[in-house]
């Protein structure tokens, strides 16, 4: 064990900000960027703002009670350069918290694959984050009804990505919709339809006819309706309620607490398209008021 005379004093690394640049350049050969000032910054790296890091989803895989892999799941529908700074923090935070390897998956449309997969140079040698990207072409094809019931969300992604070319995915997505929670069905159904061409849309709508598909639940009656306007309206109401719940949940997770009036405005909104727009904004706005601008 080294004697105390060989211990590096804490003040050595605290009292001279320029030391860091000198060590990087002179001892390690690191290419220090041109700068005109070196300042101490709080060493408490828990972020004194405080700032929350909120990914779209996070999963931990465990074996015998021990974490073996953490997975951050993000979805990217448009360019957002802030993500290039937050995503390394997601992995580092999970890595430190769960003490296991951590990986990042990004789900995105075809036109975003190259942007999402671009390496993120953190700056430290060897510390380059290259996200694992899944676009439509990489999305697994789910054509087994049993698999669709086990993993409804995967079947939904599959039908959205491959429904135009693989009709079997449209048949299996019915099983997925029938197996997922009622509040998810309107959104999943809309998402699948949005990814299909006109012929595939008609194919799916035909498959959903109560005359051709034996529904195990009341989804067709409540949401699709298929000739029953009251069923459609009840489904729309379910969709509006679910959308409002999701918006409020996202805001709450980001530390944005609506006033009573703001929450009432969200819950009373009767336009599902407006609610969907607010839902997209809820993950980016800095204040609740920004949701309505």
261 Cβ contact partners less than 8 Å away, ≥ 6 residues apart? none
Q: Tell me what pLDDT residue 290 has.
A: 87
Q: Tell me what pLDDT residue 67 has.
A: 87
d(CA 293, CA 290): 5
d(CA 205, CA 226): 9
Q: Is residue 155 within 8 Å of 147, Cβ to Cβ?
A: yes
Reading the block at residue 6, the tokens are: 């060989």
Q: Tell me what pLDDT residue 129 has.
A: 94
Residue among 217, 218, 215, 212 at smallest CA distance from 235? 218
The CB-based long-range contact list for 204-209 (8 Å cut-off, 24+ gap) reads 204/159, 204/163, 204/170, 204/173, 207/170, 207/171, 207/174, 208/174
> Crossing angle for the helix pair 198-207 and 185-194, nearest 10 degrees?
150
Q: Tell me what pLDDT residue 37 has.
A: 74
Instruction: Please calculate the CA angle 249-179-106 and round it to the nearest 5 degrees.
Output: 55
Q: Tell me what pLDDT residue 46 has.
A: 56
| Other C-beta atoms lying within 10 Å of the C-beta of residue 212 | 9
- For 132, phi then psi, to 5°, come to -90, 110
Instruction: Please calculate the CA angle 180-103-33 and round it to the nearest 5 degrees.
Output: 140
Residues of the chain falling short of pLDDT 50 = 1-5, 8, 210-212, 215-218, 220-232
Q: Is residue 141 within 8 Å of 170, Cβ to Cβ?
A: no
d(CA 135, CA 132): 10
Q: Is residue 69 within 8 Å of 60, Cβ to Cβ?
A: yes
Q: Tell me what pLDDT residue 225 has.
A: 44
State pTM to two decimals: 0.61
d(CA 123, CA 144): 45
d(CA 171, CA 148): 10
């Amino acid at each position: 064990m080294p004697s105390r005379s060989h211990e590096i004093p804490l003040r050595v690394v605290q009292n001279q900000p320029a030391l860091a640049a000198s060590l990087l350049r002179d001892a390690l050969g690191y290419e220090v960027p041109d700068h005109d000032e070196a300042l101490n910054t709080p060493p408490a790296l828990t972020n004194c703002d405080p700032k929350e890091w909120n990914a779209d989803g996070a999963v931990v895989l465990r074996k015998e009670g021990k974490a073996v892999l953490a997975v951050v799941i993000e979805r990217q529908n448009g360019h957002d350069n802030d993500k290039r700074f937050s995503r390394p923090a997601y992995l580092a935070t999970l890595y430190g918290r769960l003490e296991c390897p951590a990986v990042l998956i990004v789900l995105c449309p075809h036109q975003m694959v190259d942007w999402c997969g671009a390496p993120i140079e953190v700056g430290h040698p060897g510390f380059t984050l290259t996200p694992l990207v899944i676009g439509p072409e990489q999305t697994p094809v789910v054509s087994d009804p049993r698999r669709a019931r086990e993993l409804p969300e995967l079947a939904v992604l599959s039908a959205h990505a491959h429904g135009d070319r693989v009709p079997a995915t449209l048949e299996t997505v019915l099983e997925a919709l029938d197996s997922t929670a009622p509040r998810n069905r309107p959104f999943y159904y809309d998402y699948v339809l949005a990814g299909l061409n006109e012929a595939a849309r008609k194919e799916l709508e035909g498959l959903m006819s109560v005359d051709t598909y034996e529904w195990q639940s009341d989804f067709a009656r409540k949401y699709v309706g298929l000739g029953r306007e009251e069923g459609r309206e009840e489904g729309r109401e379910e969709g509006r309620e679910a959308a409002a719940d999701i918006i409020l949940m996202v805001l709450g997770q980001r530390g944005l607490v609506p006033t009573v009036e703001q929450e009432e405005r969200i819950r009373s909104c009767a336009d599902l398209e407006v609610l969907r727009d607010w839902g997209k904004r809820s993950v980016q706005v800095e204040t609740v008021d920004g949701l309505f601008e």
